[in-house]
Structure 1
Amino acid sequence: MATMKDIAKLAGVSTSTVSHVINKTRFVSDEIAERVNNAAKELNYYAPSALARSFKTNRTNTIGMLMTTSTNPFFGEVVKGVERCCYHEGYNLILCNTEGDVKRMRASVETLMQKRVDGFILMCSTLESEYSAILERLADVPVVLMDWGPISYPCDKIQDNSLRGGYLATKHLIANGHRDIGCITGPLYKHQAQMRYQGFKRAMKEANLEIHPHWVIEGDFECEGGYQAFDKFKQHGTLPTAVFAGNDMMAMGLINAAHEQGVSVPSDLSVMGYDDIHVARYMTPSLTTVHQPKYRLGKAAVDALVARIADRERDSQVVELEPTVVERGSVIPCKGNDQ
């Protein structure tokens, strides 16, 4: 019966490399992996099942991720980073969509627990009020939280600095001479939406600019929210010269509505987004926005969880990634204002 040592000799690699390829415990280049797999086939080698290995090592090399999907491509771009980093770390990823439903979230947790995943990544900001019960259920499992608000539970947390992001976005509009600035927030019960709005208010206060209540509209983080916000701006007569939208999806909806009603972006209305989703640069006009390092968010979550799996006693960490402004075509200097 062939052994890993036989495969290593035939493939011209070390035995440890063969083990990593067969057990998927570490990233190995495609060329070497192919040589190992071809040698294994030639020698009729049969690897022990994943289930058998898990009983021996008490590891399944599998991570479970719970998230609430949306039409917003932001989430898909973060998941792409998580999946790619799992692959490089030798982990499989099981992705569960909660669809914002508490029962579905709890059922997904139970399913993943039954599959004996080594750890959880949670990205379900729509279910913030449910975190206590969920985290209590996961008390004995490594957990990393993404995109959730302040939580006292001792686990690793990965988040963007939304307060600074909202501040930088508004400062950019002010630097371009805008004084009459509106804001479309996300749902304000969500921590990230609230922080971006607080950043907007801080920048306006620093510049001694008035915040007009009818130019602050609570949206839904979807295109429809931005689309409807434009009608609400119009109902109050005079439009602001610029609007900070709490994410790119709402900015896109706002631009679409403005175009339909003959308002030119950016000539009549400058628009600032948040997230820097992939399609933002391909809009007309291309969207000025706040960049979130989505791949790095995903990588940071996987890195933190893998470290936690390896060492349950390590101190909990909060990793906060810094946003930056990306200047494109949807913001121009305000007409009539000296720069």
Structure 2
Amino acid sequence: MKPAKPVESRSAASSTQTATLAEIAREAGVSAPTVSKVLNGRADVAPGTRTRVEELLRSYGYRRRRAEAARSPLIDVVFHELESAWAMEVIRGVENVARDEGLSVVLSESAGRLTPGRTWADQVAARRPHGVVLVLSGLDESQRALLTSRSIPFVVVDPAGDPGADVPSVGATNWHGGLSATRHLVELGHTRIGAISGPSRIMCSRARIDGYRAALETAGLSVDPELIRQGNFHHDMGYRAGLELLRLPDRPTAVFAGNDLQALGVYEAARELGLRIPEDLSVVGFDDLPLARWVGPPLTTVRQPLTEMAEAAAKLVLELGREERPSAGTRVELATSLVVRSSTAPPSA
């Protein structure tokens, strides 16, 4: 019988150790082929056994050697939600890079959860893609360890929370975007400016509303909690929150929406209440999706370079997979910019 190949490992104390598959199997109380199945993401292993073996592989810091890591010609992209034009811009960016590299793209959705389920991680490990791009999502510790042990790099786009210093990520200047949107309304003469944020658990959403607050405070305007509504980045929430704001006795003369879809919900609320945009109400969105140019009136919004962000993430994950030094670093932040169209004007008398 041929001796088992040694595996590369690191102890918690960062001292170099060496363990064979056979040694890991003995410690786990299983056979070496079972350890190999777990390592290769095979599904025919009992859950309890898989967990025990995975814990040992993590404790040894095991990583597949590059020569052994035969990769599929794929990039995995996982969204916390797929049903939006926003997602299409991200997909387009990843596709641009994948096409040039001769790779295909696999799409997954975590059904609104910010962390994909365990089944997803096992499927990715079995596919062995060139890398994983996570959008508004993240990984728990066991999922990170599983992908790391298979030498599958991952990059987070618009991380929901702080991804950690060791997690590569791509984002945009969300705080500055919220600041520039609100400053634009202040400079037009608006003093009662409503805001509809995104989910509070998502970091980019909090940054945009913080930029809104900063613009008001810089202009010497008070931040009125009555004028702020929490949204969820969907059109229907923009509509409902818009109705609440516009039905206030002293309604806002302008609204900054945390994304374009919510801004279009505000459009619908304004029409229902007989308010004209921009004569009676100014509206600013965030993202600059293609539809922002075609609504009536065309929407003033903050351009977030979604396609470029996705391209940067795809390039970064491929560089990490090739063990190259990333050309733009592992924490990338692209600039936002205000795009002024016809949905904003000075407040009427």
TM over 0.5: yes
Root mean square deviation, CA, Å: 2.2
Does the aligned pair in 2 maintain the 1:167–1:200 contact within 8 Å?
yes
Alpha-carbon distance change, 109 to 298 in structure 1, aligned in 2, over 3 angstroms: same
Equivalent residue runs for 1:165-314 within 5 Å? 165-311=177-323
Specify the SS of the correspondent of 2:287: coil
Structure richer in helix, relative to its length: 1
User: What residue in structure 1 maps to residue 134 of structure 2?
Assistant: 122
What is the deviation of 1:235? 4.1
TM-score, normalising length: structure 2: 0.75
Q: Could you tell me how far apart the structure 1 residues matched to 2:326 and 2:294 are?
A: 43
Does the aligned pair in 2 maintain the 1:85–1:299 contact within 8 Å?
yes
Does the aligned pair in 2 maintain the 1:166–1:195 contact within 8 Å?
yes
Q: Which moved more, 1:140-149 or 1:253-262?
A: 140-149
Does the aligned pair in 1 maintain the 2:82–2:109 contact within 8 Å?
no
Q: How many residues align?
A: 280
2:341 is equivalent to residue 332 of structure 1: no
Alpha-carbon distance change, 163 to 133 in structure 1, aligned in 2, over 3 angstroms: farther
2:156 is equivalent to residue 145 of structure 1: yes
Does the aligned pair in 2 maintain the 1:66–1:105 contact within 8 Å?
no
What is the deviation of 1:138? 2.1
Alpha-carbon distance change, 281 to 314 in structure 1, aligned in 2, over 3 angstroms: closer
Does the aligned pair in 1 maintain the 2:81–2:111 contact within 8 Å?
yes
The one of 140, 143, 147 equivalent to 1:134 is: 143
Alpha-carbon distance change, 200 to 131 in structure 1, aligned in 2, over 3 angstroms: farther
Q: Which moved more, 1:183-192 or 1:305-314?
A: 305-314
TM-score, normalising length: structure 1: 0.77
User: What residue in structure 2 maps to residue 317 of structure 1?
Assistant: 330
Alpha-carbon distance change, 323 to 102 in structure 1, aligned in 2, over 3 angstroms: closer
Does the aligned pair in 2 maintain the 1:71–1:222 contact within 8 Å?
no
Letter in 1 for 2:343: S
Alpha-carbon distance change, 137 to 313 in structure 1, aligned in 2, over 3 angstroms: farther
| Structure 1 residues 2-40: Cα deviation after superposition (integer angstroms, max 9, x where no partner) | xxxxxxxxxxxxxxxxxxxxxxxxxxxxxxxxxxxxxxx
Alpha-carbon distance change, 313 to 160 in structure 1, aligned in 2, over 3 angstroms: closer
| Structure 1 residues 75-131: Cα deviation after superposition (integer angstroms, max 9, x where no partner) | 111111111211112222111122124796321221121011121111144xx5x54
Alpha-carbon distance change, 248 to 310 in structure 1, aligned in 2, over 3 angstroms: same
The one of 104, 118, 130 equivalent to 1:92 is: 104
What is the deviation of 1:314? 6.2
2:71 is equivalent to residue 62 of structure 1: no
Q: Could you tell me how far apart the structure 2 residues matched to 1:314 and 1:276 are?
A: 28
| Structure 1 residues 292-311: Cα deviation after superposition (integer angstroms, max 9, x where no partner) | 11110111011101110111
Q: Could you tell me how far apart the structure 1 residues matched to 2:220 and 2:82 are?
A: 37
Letter in 2 for 1:265: I
Gaps of 5+ in 2: 1-65
Specify the SS of the correspondent of 1:274: strand
Does the aligned pair in 2 maintain the 1:142–1:312 contact within 8 Å?
no
Letter in 2 for 1:76: M
Q: Could you tell me how far apart the structure 2 residues matched to 1:238 and 1:263 are?
A: 14
Among the aligned pairs, what percent are the same residue? 31
2:119 is equivalent to residue 107 of structure 1: yes
Letter in 2 for 1:334: P
Gaps of 5+ in 1: 1-53
Alpha-carbon distance change, 96 to 274 in structure 1, aligned in 2, over 3 angstroms: same
Letter in 1 for 2:227: W
| Structure 1 residues 251-304: Cα deviation after superposition (integer angstroms, max 9, x where no partner) | 000111110110111110100000001111000111000001111011101110
Q: Could you tell me how far apart the structure 1 residues matched to 2:346 and 2:246 are?
A: 22
Specify the SS of the correspondent of 1:332: coil
What is the deviation of 1:231? 2.1
Alpha-carbon distance change, 283 to 313 in structure 1, aligned in 2, over 3 angstroms: closer
Does the aligned pair in 1 maintain the 2:195–2:258 contact within 8 Å?
yes
Q: Could you tell me how far apart the structure 2 residues matched to 1:105 and 1:199 are?
A: 33
Q: Could you tell me how far apart the structure 1 residues matched to 2:214 and 2:246 are?
A: 25
User: What residue in structure 2 maps to residue 164 of structure 1?
Assistant: 176
Alpha-carbon distance change, 134 to 230 in structure 1, aligned in 2, over 3 angstroms: same
Specify the SS of the correspondent of 1:138: helix
